[in-house]
Every structure is written in structure tokens, then in C-alpha cells.
Amino acid sequence: MHRERVAENVYWFQSEVYAQVTAGAITGPQWAVLIDTLALPEETLEMRDFIENDLKVPVRYVINTHHHADHCWGNSFFPGATILAHSLCRNLLMEKGPNALEAARKQNPTFRQIKIVAPHLTFESGTLSLRVGKKNLILMGLTGHSIDGIGILVEEDRVLFAGDAFMPLPYVIDGDLDESVNTIKRIGKMGLENIVQGHGDIILRGEIEDAVKENLNYLSAIRKAARTATKRKNPLEYLAEVDIESCGKSRVYLSGLSADLHKRNLRVLYQRFAAEEPTESGKEVIEAEDNL
Ligand SMILES: [Zn+2]
């Protein structure tokens, strides 16, 4: 697990084992707020050990940026904490979590340590503020990657923990392309010092404009490719040839997972567009997709 101090009392953690997933912590004199947990129990425990034993503050709140397993399955390691999230995060986690956990346990026994813990305190619209020491955290909806996505702005430092609403490769199979475009544009206009992405590295102030452009260009490229596919005789063959580089992204992103995520983006968008304008090609069956 990588660890970095982003600003005074603001910390960032990044997994070295799963898709460069990230988490954050903001500490006050008495207690800390954790933003997301990591994908595997050992990394979440390592992070907890750092906050509670090195920084010497207990985690009183855990904020879940959205319901995907790699961001909130570590909730049960903070039994004394209040879990905060969007109300849809709670619903989706309770609806999908138990079966997904059952399946994960069969593949990797380490998930036997996990219990799904639903958020205790939720909000539906607008913003929610949380004061920790000298810092004001503003929780706000950031949809696109998922319908329940929220971001956390550390107001004093202009640091945004964006969850998966901002990623090295935008991933929309469980979300909405148009909402993702709007959210990325909105983030670009927030006047930020740093964006902490849900996966990948921290984006610094001078890099934000290019990162926003690159993500918007990518979404526009995959939209175009998926639309074109609906007009082709062999849409899936056509899509197989639309590689990640031709859409302005690199296959080295996200520990090498990005080429695969790109393919899933294309297939799911194609499926959605084909369903809007039913054609013969729209009937091709596409297998179930995993979330990230
Ligand atoms: Zn996600």
C-alpha cells in the first residue's frame, strides 16, 4: 500500500494489489474520517493501523463514495464508526452486496473476514458538511460512474476525493455516459488543488485541465465507436478493433486492467445504443459484466 500526506491532516492511500484503488483520511485532534476502504482486508487493516496507531486517532466516520466492493467492503473493520453515504449506495449495497460477497468468498478465502455493513447515515440530494478539526468536508453527488456516487471536497485545501467519478479511464458500464461527461466537466471547473481519483494517482493542479480533456475526449471517442458499431454488420468484430490507444488512453493505466475495462465500456455502450434503435445486430448477446 502506498501512502502520502496530501495536505496538513489529509492522507491518501493507494493499493499495490488491486487496480490502484485509493482511499483517504482526514484527521482532527480527537478522531479521523476515512474516505473509502481498500479492496482487500489486509490493506484496509494496514491503513487502519496507520491511522489509529501511528496518527493515534480513532476512525469515527467512514464515508463510502459508492457501493462497489473495492470501495466499501472494508466497512466491517470499523465497528465503532458511523458509515456515511448516498442513500442509493445503501440500497445498492444491500441489494447486490450479499450475493457478490458469496461469489468472492469462493474465489478468495480472504473475503471470509468481510461482512457487508450498510451505511448508517445517508443523504439524497444537495450537500452534507462534516467538520473535522480545522477542515470542512463537503459531501456532494458525483454521478456518472454510478448512480450513487459522491465526492468529498476538503474545502480549505481544495482537494476533491472524487471516488470513481474521476478515473484514469472513465468506466461507465454501471453508470451513465452523459452524466459522466457532465460530472467530469463540473470537476474541471471546481478550482481544485488536487483531484484524488478513485483509482490511480493524485492529479495535481497543473495537470487537471489535461486530465479533464483526456477523459472527455475518451468518452466522446467511445460514444462514436459504439454508435458506429450499431450500423455495422458485425458490430462486435468492429468494436474489437477499436483499441484503447485509438481513443486516447493507455493500456498501462490501472495496473494493466484498462484495456479490458475499455472493451467492456465499448460493448455495454453498443448494447445500450443498439437497444435504443433495435437492429439485427442489437440482438447479439453480451455476457454479464463486473463492476470496479
Ligand atoms: Zn466503482
CA 10 to chain centre: 19
Q: Which pLDDT score, from 0 to 100, does residue 271 have?
A: 96
Q: What is the DSSP letter of 283?
A: G
pLDDT of residue 279: 55
* Cα 118 to ligand 1 centre (Å): 17
Q: Burial code of 75-100, b = ≥16 C-beta within 10 A, e = fewer?
A: bbbbeebebbbbebbbbbbeebbeeb
Query: What is the C-alpha to C-alpha distance for residues 262 and 52, in angstroms, rounded to an integer?
Result: 38
Distance 219 CA to ligand 1 centre (A): 17
Which one-letter amino acid corresponds to residue 23? A
Number of residues that this document lists for the chain: 292
Which residues are registered as beta bridge partners of 150?
Answer: 141
Distance between Cα 232 and ligand 1 center (Å): 31
- In angstroms, what is the span from residue 143 Cα to ligand 1's centroid? 11
Q: What is the pLDDT of residue 141?
A: 98
Helix 205-230 / helix 258-276 crossing angle, nearest 10 deg: 50
Residue whose cell numbers read 457478490: 100
Contact 52, 31 (CB under 8 A): no
76 CA from centroid of ligand 1 (Å): 19
Q: How far is the CA of 20 from the centre of ligand 1 (A)?
A: 12
- pLDDT tens for each residue of the chain, 292 residues long: 999 999 999 999 999 999 999 999 999 999 999 999 999 999 999 999 999 999 999 999 999 999 999 999 999 999 999 999 999 999 999 999 999 999 999 999 999 999 999 999 999 999 999 999 999 999 999 999 999 999 999 999 999 999 999 999 999 999 999 999 999 999 999 999 999 999 999 999 999 999 999 999 999 999 999 999 999 999 999 999 999 999 999 999 998 999 999 999 999 999 999 999 765 544 454 555 567 7
* Rounded distance from Cα 162 to ligand 1 centre (Å): 11
pLDDT for residue 287: 52
Within 10 angstroms of residue 17's Cβ, the number of other Cβ atoms is 13
Q: What is the pTM (predicted TM-score) of this model?
A: 0.95
Give the separation between CA 53 and CA 31, rounded to whole angstroms.
Answer: 12
Q: How far is the CA of 135 from the centre of ligand 1 (A)?
A: 26
Nearest to 14 by CA among 42, 50, 41, 43: 43
For residue 115, what is its C-alpha cell? 461482512
CA of 160 to the centre of ligand 1 (A): 16
At residue 56, the 3 state secondary structure works out as coil
CA of 70 to the centre of ligand 1 (A): 7
Q: Let me know: does 191 contact 212? Beta carbons within 8 Å.
A: no
164 CA distance to ligand 1 middle (Å): 5
Q: State in Å, rounded, how far the first CA of the chain is from the last one.
A: 18
Ligand 1 centre to CA of 225 (Å) is 23
Beta bridge partners of 190: none
